[in-house]
A and B are shown apart, each in its own frame.
Chain A
Amino acid sequence: MPFHDPFLLCLLALLALLLCGDGAVRVFVRGLWRSVPVVTWRQGGCHMAGFLMAFAALGLVGHAGAAACLVALALLFFGGGAAFRPIWGVPALLGYGLSPTGLGGLGLMALCLWAAGQAQMSRVGQVVAIVLLIGLGHGGASAHPLLWLGGSVALVAIGLLVELGRDWEVLLRSCRLLRPLMLLGLMEISRQQGLSIGVETAFCALLLDVTCQTIAAIWPFAVCLSIPAPPLPGFVVGWMGLHTALGLSGGTEGWAVIGCILAIMVMGLSLGDGMVSLREAASIQPCKRVEWGIGLIIAALLPSLCGFVTQWMPGEAGHRGAWFYRLPGGDGSMIALPLFWLVVFVVWWGLSRGRVKTWQSRIRMDVLAVGMQATPLRLRPIRRLLVRGQQQLRLLHSGGAACLSALPLRDPGAAFWLVFLGGVLVVLGLTQ
């Protein structure tokens, strides 16, 4: 059992946090002895079952086939038919079951990315899909980090080609999916190149990123945490990712330029995610003063806690207390962000001590949303390119349909299953 693996242990803890905080599960548990509406109770039951499947899948990470089945079940429980399409999901999972660390890992990645990008899924379901992907794909990422990085970018690009015709905000929303995958890839590349501090920092950034998403799924107000404005954790994630990539470019020979590009990419993803977060934050109802206080404390402590966990898990007897006054970048630079928070709190309290009592806690996020509607980025050339690609894809699709109709078969579905069966037999023949 892989429970001594610190990485999986962190992910399991995050899943447990999600389970405790999910509203639907709470309704389900309450419905066990009190009467609640059947529809919501059944949905809560689905979530509960999905969580159990996800736990089991992460526990069985050594056995790829069983884990793949459990992933499919979990996604079905969370999102229904929209999240898991058997027509390509079954072959993808089969590929994962056959070669979990090779190309088959991309199948699982496609499946989970698709599920996490679906708007029909609840936020909790999306985060569970991301956690499952990271936990199960870790083996593949550590075996072939370049394949992992390239595959994640390519799969998100393909997803954009399919989805972009509807609205181009999909582009921004995919940033949130892509960033943890890139951080995981960076971590594994650093491990391959032997940069231990880079591994630590990337792991801390990854943990912080997923934790922020988890908290935001439970508590919608916490989406403010992932805005990349400086003292907030969203900025820390971007900064740490950037410096890990830069450490890669500074510490190794072949990575000088690619590391820079990766660094800019990570920070750009943070920015795109921040735009979505700002837009979501704009629609949140005004909160109480206590909630603002809790949010501020979480924002100040979360990076340090994640770093502490990062160093505590592998059992290294390093200088752990240092996480509570400074955060290292992956390349030897560091920022004293916790101290910065301390000074901010002291000065802020001194300046507006008298006004806290009468404050009506209205930070006007709606104004921000209005400002951001005005064409924030000019993505027209990219979009034109993507739309053209989409047309090509449609052409290809119609061509494929014409080919299928030329075959002497009544039912195109049967043709698909026959081809699928042939493919499985070929793969089995190749592996034996």
Chain B
Amino acid sequence: MKNAMMPYLIEGVRLGLELASQSVVLLVLIPFMVWVTEDLPALMIGRAVAPLGSRYRRFGHFGREILRHGIDVESGLMLTLALLALLILAGMFFFTPSCLGLVGAWLADPLLVGSLILTGALWAVPAYFGQVVRCWFVLCLMESFLVLAAPGVTGFLGVHHLLIAAPGSSLAGTALCCAVALALLTPVPRREVLAAEMIEQAWPPSRAERDQKQRILELYRLGWVLLVGDSLLPVLFGLEGLGSVPGFIGRFMGGVVLILIGRFTRVARYRRFVALLLGLAGLMALAGRFAV
């Protein structure tokens, strides 16, 4: 009996170790990524911003408060969902390349993770409903096109394996078009919008809780950037060993660059581009499907 249980025990320990190491790497990187997404654009247009260290201090304060006093149940759920979405999208594997699919393979479904992020956005600012619905339809279309281009793949990891096996297929083009379409959308409310909303609702009452809500929303914003990066460069998703960290940062930078290009060239204002890009993605998917 004991001998029969041993492999499961070892597997469980490895899985726990894997999850812990992934979370540690992610938590170390989060303040840096927030700095890149929020302060770097301001720095590029010549405004003075707070240094990177202040971001780390703020997140450290946030974590200490939570560990000491706990967090409100509702915000706790949203924080959990945000952390899990980031963990899924990070797609790093250190010890167990095909680890039971806990965080990587079986959950990295664009529709699932995107809906998680949209849920967070709706929770923060309910008035964003129309925006959220639009993004949701884009996500549904993206999922359909990915499956149409590559029948039977499971999420981003399946796309990665397929791209490794057959590089330069129509799948890459479909993913690229979908990524650009996603980059032109902004489902998660910006900091000023959220602040105005909280003042209008007079909720949450205390300043500390408002700060907490801002931190949580920063995670959701980060999640959307990562989603864009993952669909832009699925080749770098799910690398194994220590090489997965550079791959992760590379995907993230790809997402940031794409979103910043959209913002600086003012393309993001024209909603029709999204429809155009989705049409293009559908065409590519159909072409790839009927070519073979």
Contacts and interface: CB of A to CB of B under 8 A. Distances in A.
B129 A376 contact: yes
Contacts of A228: 115
Nearest to A333: B154
B115 A371 contact: no
B115 A348 contact: no
A333 B126 contact: no
A249 B148 contact: yes
A352 B71 contact: yes
Interface stretch (A63-71, A138-146, A362-370, A406-414): A362-370
A264 B74 contact: no
A372 B129 contact: yes
Contacts of A243: 147
B129 A336 contact: no
Interface in A255-275: 256-257, 260, 263-264, 267-268, 271
Interface centre among A231, A257, A353, A356 (most CB of B within 10 A): A231
Nearest to B101: A336
A372 B128 CA distance: 9
Contacts of A271: 133, 136
Contacts of A335: 106-107, 109, 112, 155
A367 B74 CA distance: 14
B144 A344 contact: no
Interface in A34-49: none
A264 to B, nearest CB: 6
Contacts of B39: none
B147 A347 contact: no
A355 B141 contact: no
A403 to B, nearest CB: 46
Contacts of A321: none
A351 interface: yes
A268 B141 CA distance: 11
B154 A332 contact: yes
B140 interface: yes
A364 B203 contact: yes
A355 B75 CA distance: 11
B70 A354 contact: yes
Contacts of B30: none
A368 B136 contact: no
Contacts of B66: 351
B107 A367 contact: no
A304 to B, nearest CB: 14
A335 B115 CA distance: 14
A208 interface: no
Interface stretch (B77-85, B161-169, B179-187): B77-85
Contact of A264 (B73, B116, B127, B141): B141
A209 interface: no
A219 interface: no
A375 B119 contact: no
B38 interface: no
A229 B133 CA distance: 12
Interface string A319-353: 00000001000011111110110011001100111
A250 B109 contact: no
The 4 A-B residue pairs with the shortest CB-CB distance in the complex, in nearest-first order: A371-B126, A250-B151, A352-B76, A354-B70
Interface of B: 66, 69-77, 79-81, 83-84, 101-102, 106-107, 109, 111-112, 115-116, 119, 122, 125-130, 133, 136-137, 140-141, 143-144, 147-148, 151-155, 158, 201, 203, 286, 289-290
Given A239-B109, A249-B147, A250-B148, 12 more contacts: A229-B119, A242-B111, A264-B137, A264-B144, A268-B140, A354-B69, A355-B70, A355-B73, A359-B73, A367-B126, A376-B130, A377-B130
14 contacts: A230-B119, A243-B147, A246-B147, A249-B148, A260-B148, A333-B147, A347-B84, A348-B76, A352-B73, A355-B73, A359-B73, A363-B74, A372-B126, A375-B130
